[in-house]
Amino acid sequence: GGGAIEVMEPAAQGRNVRRRGLDFGQGDVLLESGRLLDPAALSLAASANHPNLDVVRQPLVAIIATGDELLPPGSELGPDQIISSNAYGVIATAQSVGARALDLGIAADRHDAIAALVKKAVAAGADVLVTLGGASVGDHDLIHDVLTGEGMKLDFWKIAMRPGKPLMFGRLGNIRCIGLPGNPVASLVCSQLFLKPLLARLGGRLYRPDIRTARLGAAMHANDLRQDYVRATVREDAATLVATPFGIQDSSMLRMLADANGLIVREPFAPAAEAGAECSVLMLR
């Protein structure tokens, strides 16, 4: 009271004072180009009094599943029908690198049905068009003909890898078109290898696959002319990664892919390898 202040403990000069420019100063670069705007980056930009930031637009990937045999989850299946599952994994792959996904549904095995959904993808302004199935050479594999008929310029079709041989890539104007195999595992492995890096780059993100050196937990046969991506469990044993391949590698077996946390990469014509041999592993999680 009376305008008087009683100081109860000594005061040191500068205590409880944050000097101007302690955190950053005029002209400092606070966020490099390409920086992901995580919580700290957003708060930093706001604290520097920036109400707006220039960002890279999220790429849009449109997804078309094809096949008369496909039905959505929850359907009553007939003897010649299966559940359409690939799109969900592709959408999750796209979202993991910041892309937006537009699921255009299932097209019947008819030129007009597929072409109608391709036109929807174009009208939506898709940056990438992904088709699921129909990219092989069977009587009902129409993707190649439909897309080239719509003006796509084909870059390549079929690659020497397993799973994923029928992969197709081309450009429809400014839209990148990726024809993924219909087998679920092949579709998701190809999404990991081709779609994910593409969408990351279009979204302004750096992307490096997580490839590590490990030791085989089981012997593997010699490889043929295709590069193999073998589903495996990867664990740490005495500071060494051990990758153990699953015995069956059928490309329809999704449960095995869900259980795998890595893919052993086997070069074309790789010789037989004993347990304990060094190998390369692409980590999935």
Contact 145, 154 (CB under 8 A): no
Integer Cα distance of 35 and 45 in angstroms: 12
How does pLDDT run across 235-270, given as a tens digit for each residue?
A: 998 889 999 999 999 988 999 999 999 999 999 999
Given a cut of 70, whether residue 219 has pLDDT beyond it is yes
- What does the pLDDT read at residue 278? 97
- What does the pLDDT read at residue 30? 96
Q: What is the dihedral of CA 246, 247, 252, 254, to 10 degrees?
A: -30
Token pair for 182: 């219909």
How does pLDDT run across 16-43, given as a tens digit for each residue?
A: 899 999 999 999 999 998 888 999 999 9
Token pair for 175: 């839209």
- What does the pLDDT read at residue 139? 57
Q: Within the chain, which residue ranges are assigned CATH 2.40.340.10?
A: 211-283
Given a cut of 80, whether residue 149 has pLDDT beyond it is yes
260 DSSP β-pair partners:
none
How does pLDDT run across 94-143, given as a tens digit for each residue?
A: 999 999 999 999 999 999 999 999 999 999 999 999 999 987 666 557 89
- What is the CATH number assigned to the segment(s) 60-202? 3.40.980.10
- What does the pLDDT read at residue 132? 96
> Side-chain half-sphere of 254: how many Cα atoms within 13 Å?
11
Given a cut of 90, whether residue 83 has pLDDT beyond it is yes
Integer Cα distance of 107 and 117 in angstroms: 7
- Confidence at 184, pLDDT banded by 50, 70, 90: very high
Instruction: Assess if CATH 2.40.340.10 describes domain 211-283.
Output: yes
Q: How many residues does the chain have?
A: 285
Query: Which stretch of DSSP H or E encloses residue 121?
Result: helix 111-123
Across residues 177-201, what is the average pLDDT? 96
Contact 121, 173 (CB under 8 A): no
- 37-41: long-range contacts at Cβ-Cβ below 8 A with a sequence spacing of 24 or more? none
- What does the pLDDT read at residue 16? 87
How does pLDDT run across 31-75, given as a tens digit for each residue?
A: 998 888 999 999 999 999 999 999 999 999 999 999 999 999 999
Maximum Cα–Cα distance across the chain: 98
Phi, psi of 151 (to 5 degrees): 110, 5
Q: Name the pTM for this structure.
A: 0.86
Phi, psi of 58 (to 5 degrees): -65, 125
Q: What amino acid is encoded at 102 in this protein?
A: L
Q: Within the chain, which residue ranges are assigned CATH 3.40.980.10?
A: 60-202
Tokens 């490889």: give the residue: 223
